[in-house]
Structure 1
Amino acid sequence: MPDATEQPGYAAALDELDKILRELEGADVDVDHLADRVARASELITLCREKISNAQIKIEQVTADLDG
């Protein structure tokens, strides 16, 4: 897992989310780490939403420059 100052890229974040989901769906969920995994999933979802929002803003800027 990346250190606290390094954010994963979108694809890496989705991959990590997928792994967490598979862990949580498994029969052998480690209850001692459950809250940590859910918190990490929340962080990754927020990161992905921010990346999508930033990409959307950039796309809108580029297309506005093309139109104007």
Structure 2
Amino acid sequence: MSKKKLTYQSAYDELQTICEQLESEEVDVDQITDLVKRANELVKYCQDRLRGIEKDLNQSTDV
């Protein structure tokens, strides 16, 4: 099984899908915890990427 490298866009898209699933109220109760855990991982990944980009931009403007 090959795993795709996570990108900001793929993480964002997956978050959108998770939100749609949760809002549809058709998600099995047993899946909710797993979906929320995955969403938390994706949010952390996106936040870290944005902070990294912000840091890079700030360093490049300090030159």
- The normalised TM-score by structure 2 is 0.89
Q: CA RMSD in A?
A: 1.5
Q: Distance in 2 between matches of 1:7 and 1:38?
A: 21
1:24 matched to 2:18: no
| Structure 2 counterparts to residues 55-66 of structure 1, below 5 A | 55-65=53-63
Q: How many equivalent residue pairs? A: 62
Rg: which structure is higher?
1
Residue ranges of structure 1 left out of the alignment (5+ in a row): none
Runs of 4 or more off by more than 4 Å in structure 1?
A: none
Secondary structure at the aligned position of 2:27 is classed as: coil
Gaps of 5+ in 2: none
TM-score by length of 1: 0.83
The 5-angstrom pairing of residues 1-68 of structure 1 reads 3=3, 8-65=6-63
Quickly say closer, same or farther: Cα 1:47–1:39, change in 2 above 3 A. Answer: same
User: Partners in 2 of 1:23 and 1:7 — Cα distance?
Assistant: 23
